[in-house]
Amino acid sequence: SKRVPPGSLGIPIIGQSLGLLRAMRANTAEKWIEDRINKYGPISKLSLFGTPTVLIHGQAANKFIFANGGDSIVNQQTQSIKMILGDRNLLELSGKDHSRVRGALVSFLKPESLKQYVSKIDEEVRSHIRMHWERKKQVKVLPLMKTLTFNIICSLLFGLESGKQRDQFMNPFQAMIKGMWSVPINAPFTRYNRSLRASARIQKLLKEIVHQKKVEHEKNGANSRQDLISCMLSMVEDDKQVITENEIIHNAMLVMVAGHDTSSILITFIIRLLANEPAICAAVLQEQEEIAKGKLLGEPLTWEDLSKMKYTWRVANETLRRFPPIFGGFRKAATDIEYDGYVIPKGWQIFWVTSMTHMDNNIFPEPSKFDPSRFENQASTPPYCFVPFGGGARICPGYEFARVEILVAIHYLVTKFSWKRLSDNSFSRDPMPTPTQGLLIELFPRKQLS
């Protein structure tokens, strides 16, 4: 006798997708969600990206989604994401398959492994700054940060150093991302269709890389620590590859998406913030100059240096709270689930939204104020309330990787330059937050310490 939540599923396939996407582009998506909550209450039904969906929010809702240990809630992305990234990507897997594939990714992304890659990330950041920032009067930050984080992913995770093979990925990759939050109508000229075609091209390129590495592996007994693909290829049990070729390709695509756009947005928003808040910028600079003073000219940063960047990391966390790169996410009800007096029917999507706890006055007082000191004592943040990286068994495995690239990038940028914002301060979501004109800034080189 339990009822499904109030609300309307709208017109078939399209439902409320266009309304949400329009609000995201106008940067009014939080208000769009709030209006729904005011109209229907804390739990409501709608239809997003071709599937009936239930929107729930708040600390209890986040806990319900992230800490659900049973089999009733499974991960499932929208139809568009599944078709674009492939059905063996981690977001589509559950149970033992999820643990097996996630284990392979984590063995590469965990801090013990990452420590040895700090100097490589340092090298990528410095070469990027030499090529794209030095001697420039103005730069457009977002496209540059996309290039930087994409190159870091290609170099560290796929073993692709700079060159033609790496460059071939960039354009189809951007086209692929554009259709990930789209209505799955596969007709010529739709975003979804362009994205599917780009995905096919990337899968072909990745297949070639996997085959190249297989050959190298057989010839030289490749070093499993070299890069993520080699690491996955070298995992063998009972003469059988632990991770199948499709799993390697689909998860390489997932990592390209998950690990590149998110971090580039975060660095861009930190740069925007430092332009807007001189006092915070001065405090970040002071911390980074202290670290720079202890280094010889050209000496790369180390894991220990990063652990001293406490204030800078608080600024990054506060940026993640105010401008989370990931707006929210989806799960699927594997059975009929009871929640808050309603039933979420089997097969329906469950939609969670990051900002609903990040901007809750009871959790983060004066939520619109940018205040890095909120993160001085991380333990004071209630559980399941600060969720830019999600939570529970599916919490972002790239968290440490992101921390390393962000801190290294900010270190070199603030110690080498100051900057002034030239474009206005607004941004839209597409679906990631995207500043107007990609954040155009005027650059002023700093006098070098050494």
Which residues of this chain interact with ligand HEM, rule CB under 6 A? 66, 75, 90-91, 102, 105, 109, 254-255, 258-259, 262-263, 266, 325-326, 329, 388-391, 394, 396-398, 401-402
Closer Cβ to ligand HEM, 255 or 306, answer by number: 255
Spatial CA neighbour of 349 closest among 33, 74, 66: 74
Cα separation of 394 and 289, whole Å? 36
Residue nearest ligand HEM (C-beta atom): 398
Closest CA to 336 of 325, 321, 348: 348
Indicate the residue among 311 and 389 with the shorter CB distance to ligand HEM.
389
CB nearer ligand HEM, residue 83 or residue 292: 83
Minimum distance from CB of 265 to ligand HEM (Å)? 7
Bridge-partner residues for 421, per DSSP?
A: 441
- Least distance to ligand HEM, CB of residue 156, Å: 8
- Measured from the CB atom, is 305 or 405 closer to ligand HEM? 405
Q: How far is the CB of 406 from ligand HEM (least distance, A)?
A: 7
Cα–Cα distance, 202 to 186 (Å, whole number): 18
Nearer to ligand HEM, 20 or 104 (CB): 104
Q: Please, which residue, 78 or 263, has the CB nearer to ligand HEM?
A: 263
In whole angstroms, the minimum distance from the beta carbon of 101 to ligand HEM comes to 8
Burial class, 98, CB count within 10 angstroms (exposed 0-12 / middle 13-18 / buried 19+): middle
* Alpha-carbon distance values, 121 to 57, 112, 381, 403, 407 (Å): 37, 15, 30, 11, 10
Which of 238, 216, 235 has the alpha carbon at shortest distance from 107?
235
CA distance 316 to 422: 22
Q: In what order do the strands lie in the sheet with 440-445?
A: 138-140, 440-445, 417-421
In eight-state DSSP terms, residue 225 is: T
Residue 447 CB, shortest distance to ligand HEM, in Å, is: 31
Helix 310-322 vs helix 278-293: angle between axes, to the nearest 10 degrees? 140
Q: Minimum CB separation from ligand HEM for residue 190, in Å? A: 26
Q: 27-45: buried (b, 16+ CB within 10 Å) or exposed (e) per residue?
A: eebbebbeebeeebeebbb
199: which strand partners? none
Instruction: Give the nearest distance from C-beta 298 to ligand HEM in angstroms.
Output: 26
Least distance from ligand HEM to the Cβ atom of residue 259, Å: 3
CB of 53 to ligand HEM, least distance (A): 15
Nearer to ligand HEM, 103 or 445 (CB): 103
Amino acid at site 46:
L
Q: Which is nearer to ligand HEM, 182 or 262 (CB)?
A: 262
H or E element in which residue 427 lies: strand 427-429
User: Closest Cα to residue 374, out of 356, 361, 355, 391?
Assistant: 361
Q: How far is the CB of 394 from ligand HEM (least distance, A)?
A: 4
Q: Which is nearer to ligand HEM, 97 or 290 (CB)?
A: 97
Q: Give the Å distances, CA to CA, from 373 to 276, 369, 422.
A: 17, 11, 28
Q: Least distance to ligand HEM from the beta carbon of 277, Å? A: 20
Q: Would you say 292 or 319 has its CB closer to ligand HEM?
A: 319
Closer to ligand HEM by CB, 152 or 275: give it. Answer: 152
Which of the 8 DSSP states describes residue 374? G
Nearer to ligand HEM, 123 or 289 (CB): 123
How far does Cα 140 stand from its chain's mean position? Answer: 20
CB of 424 to ligand HEM, least distance (A): 24
Query: CA nearest 422: which of 316, 271, 264, 280?
Result: 271
Q: How many CB atoms sit inside 10 A of residue 131's CB? A: 12
Give the pair of three-digit tokens for residue 425: 């301060």
